[in-house]
């Protein structure tokens, strides 16, 4: 199914656009205006001539323009009629934001919607969804005010989400991360367009480098396997499957009317076809971040540099507990170099503890070794900003190193405001920063796993 008219529309009609600020249709139109959408925008409202300066029409049939996308935000019982009009007006794609369909037992009403979508070959997203966001084309059908939900910057990560609430929450979190968004697609009840269609589209989408997928239940299993086999050959997919326990599955049923399939079966499929499996929401961000910015490692050995002994031990523990990663040794030449350049209190071993008074210059020498030593495949720099020697110059050193480095490199910085400020600084320069040893090490392990998958099959 071609989702381009939905994601890159040249003209959009908001059906249910309203002057009433409490109406979903009002927020959607407002957001289109706020986002600076540059295409042709129309409001459809039976009772108004004009809304927020946009000309309003009583029906989509009255608009004398080809409409690429109609966003429908009206009560469920009126949706079929509105869709029928869209079909007759040759609208190219539809998003049904409205709820009140299969998720509350109104399966017949949903079937009518699917019937109309099929009759007119009109790709239809939803119902019961947030719709789409594409920061490049400035399309934003979310009915959530921008002051409540920050919008992420432009980037290469596409986020596909069955649940609207999880979608908006994670989107808000993504906006606080260093990576940017390519597409957000919330597909709700998956009545017409489902995850298989969306993955097929994103697989070929050059703007998408990494995909985050949140699913409750996959309906077309065999078709999913077909796209799963191909998509991870081209780009990583980080997946979180809700409905792990029997209780969780019952909840999924009442939520998006999805038949949440057996978790183990889903996990088996994801594993078999090289998906990166997240255990919770924070994994989605942690794994997507490293897959988005870092090159594939050549091997499994980690070089750790730190200005805190304890943090180094925690990281070494996490590496020891991982099934796949090891701490690398340094070459004789590099060991010699470090002996000469480091103060006597620095023990020359991995993790390399630069001591609490380490400054940018000491990090610089240590990172040079990590970058050049063939025994090190990935670099984990622990920078604790609470110590006297570390400041913005240390962060700047790490950034300038990152720019030259051909190996994967990430930073672990644990702390609050001062640390957070430097995290933003480093991440916006494309250096992923993690806030816990296990998150950092697990992310490196997932990067390696995906690299191995790509290199093998």
Partner 1 sequence: MTGKLMPLLDYFEGKKLLDRHGIKSVASRYVDSAESAVEFSEGDPIVLKLISGKALHKSKSGLVKLDLRGTEIKRAFAELQEKGKPLKPYRIIAQKMSKGGVEVIMGGRTDPQFGKLILLGLGGIYVEVFKDFALRACPITKQDAEEMIAQLKSRDVITFNGKNSGMVIQLLLSVSKMLMDNCRIDEIDLNPLILRENGYEAVDIRILTK
Cα separation, 308 vs 357, in Å, equals 9
The reply on whether position 324 binds partner 1 by CB under 8 A is no
Answer for the pair 31, 226: CB distance below 8 angstroms, yes or no. Answer: no
167 versus 217: smaller Cβ distance to partner 1 = 217
> Rounded to an integer, what distance in angstroms lies between the CA atom of residue 406 and that of residue 371?
8
Number of neighbouring beta carbons within 10 Å of residue 429: 15
Is 29 or 228 the residue whose CB approaches partner 1 more closely? 228
Instruction: Kindly determine how many residues on this chain lie close enough to bind partner 1 according to the rule CB under 8 A.
Output: 19
At closest approach, how far in Å is the CB of 268 from partner 1?
4
Q: Are 446 and 290 in contact (CB under 8 A)?
A: yes
Q: For the chain, how many helices (H) and strands (E)?
A: 16, 20
Q: How far is the CB of 218 from partner 1 (least distance, A)?
A: 6
Look up residue 175 and give its two tokens. 């906006």
- Measured from the CB atom, the residue of 77 and 272 that comes closer to partner 1 is 272
Cβ atoms 154, 180 nearer than 8 A: yes
Can residue 391 be called a binding residue for partner 1 (CB under 8 A)? no
Cβ closer to partner 1: 8 or 229?
229
CB of 164 to partner 1, least distance (A): 23
Letters for 263-282 (x = contact with partner 1 by CB under 8 A, - = none) are -xx-xxx-xx----------
Please identify, among the stretches 69-77, 145-153, 261-269, 276-284, the one whose residues bind partner 1 according to the rule CB under 8 A: 261-269
Tokens representing 286 are: 């942690």
In terms of DSSP H, where are the helices of 325-436?
332-341, 360-372, 392-404, 417-428
Q: Identify which of residues 10 and 267 has a Cβ nearer to partner 1 in the complex.
A: 267
Distance, C-alpha 258 to centroid of its chain:
22
Question: What is the signed CA dihedral for 12, 142, 242, 182, rounded to 10 degrees?
Answer: 70
CB of 349 to partner 1, least distance (A): 30
Name the minimum Å distance from CB 260 to partner 1: 10
Question: Of 189-248, which residues contact partner 1 (CB under 8 A)?
Answer: 217-222, 224-225
Specify the residue, 205 or 267, whose C-beta has the smaller distance to partner 1: 267
Helices marked H in 204-329 — which ranges?
A: 221-234, 246-256, 263-272, 281-293, 309-321
Q: Which is nearer to partner 1, 264 or 417 (CB)?
A: 264
Interface residues with partner 1 (CB under 8 A) are 217-222, 224-225, 261-262, 264-265, 267-269, 271-272, 456-457
């Amino acid at each position: 199914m071609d989702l381009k008219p939905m994601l890159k529309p040249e003209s959009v009609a908001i059906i249910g656009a309203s002057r009433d600020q409490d109406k979903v249709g009002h927020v959607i139109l407002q957001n289109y205006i706020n986002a600076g959408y540059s295409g042709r925008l129309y409001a459809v409202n039976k009772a108004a001539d004009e809304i927020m300066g946009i000309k309003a029409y009583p029906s989509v049939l009255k608009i004398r323009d080809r409409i690429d996308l109609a966003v429908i935000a009206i009560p469920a019982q009126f949706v079929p009629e509105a869709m029928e009009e869209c079909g007759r007006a040759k609208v190219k794609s539809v998003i049904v934001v409205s709820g009140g369909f299969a998720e509350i037992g109104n399966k017949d009403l949903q079937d009518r919607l699917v019937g109309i979508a099929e009759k007119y070959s009109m790709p239809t997203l939803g119902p019961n969804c947030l719709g789409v966001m594409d920061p490049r084309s400035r399309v934003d059908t979310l009915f959530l005010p921008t002051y409540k939900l920050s919008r992420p910057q432009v980037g290469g990560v596409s986020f596909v989400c069955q649940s609207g609430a999880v979608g908006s929450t994670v989107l808000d979190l993504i906006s606080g991360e260093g990576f940017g968004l390519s597409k957000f697609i919330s597909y709700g009840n998956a009545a017409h367009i489902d995850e298989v269609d969306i993955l097929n589209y994103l697989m070929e989408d050059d703007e998408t480098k990494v995909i985050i997928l949140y699913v409750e239940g996959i309906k077309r299993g065999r078709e999913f396997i077909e796209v799963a086999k191909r998509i991870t050959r081209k780009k990583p997919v980080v997946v979180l499957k809700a409905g792990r326990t029997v209780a969780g599955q019952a909840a999924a049923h009442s939520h998006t009317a999805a038949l949440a399939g057996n978790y183990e079966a889903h996990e088996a499929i994801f594993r078999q076809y090289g998906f990166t499996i997240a255990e919770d929401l924070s994994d989605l961000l942690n794994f997507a971040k490293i897959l988005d910015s870092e090159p594939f490692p050549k091997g499994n050995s980690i070089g750790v540099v730190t200005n805190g002994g304890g943090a180094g031990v925690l990281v070494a523990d996490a590496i020891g507990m991982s099934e796949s990663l090891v701490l690398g040794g340094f070459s004789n030449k590099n060991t010699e170099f470090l002996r000469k350049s480091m103060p006597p209190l620095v023990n020359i071993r991995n993790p390399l503890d630069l001591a609490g008074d380490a400054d940018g210059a000491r990090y610089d020498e240590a990172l040079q070794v990590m970058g050049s030593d063939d025994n090190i495949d990935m670099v984990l720099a622990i920078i604790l900003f609470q110590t006297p020697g570390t400041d913005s110059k240390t962060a700047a050193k790490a950034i300038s190193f990152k720019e030259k480095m051909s190996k994967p490199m990430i930073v672990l910085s644990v702390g609050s405001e001062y640390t957070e400020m430097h995290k933003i600084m480093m991440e916006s320069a494309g250096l992923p920063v993690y806030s816990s040893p296990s998150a950092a090490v697990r992310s490196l392990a997932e990067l390696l796993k995906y690299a191995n998958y790509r290199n093998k099959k």
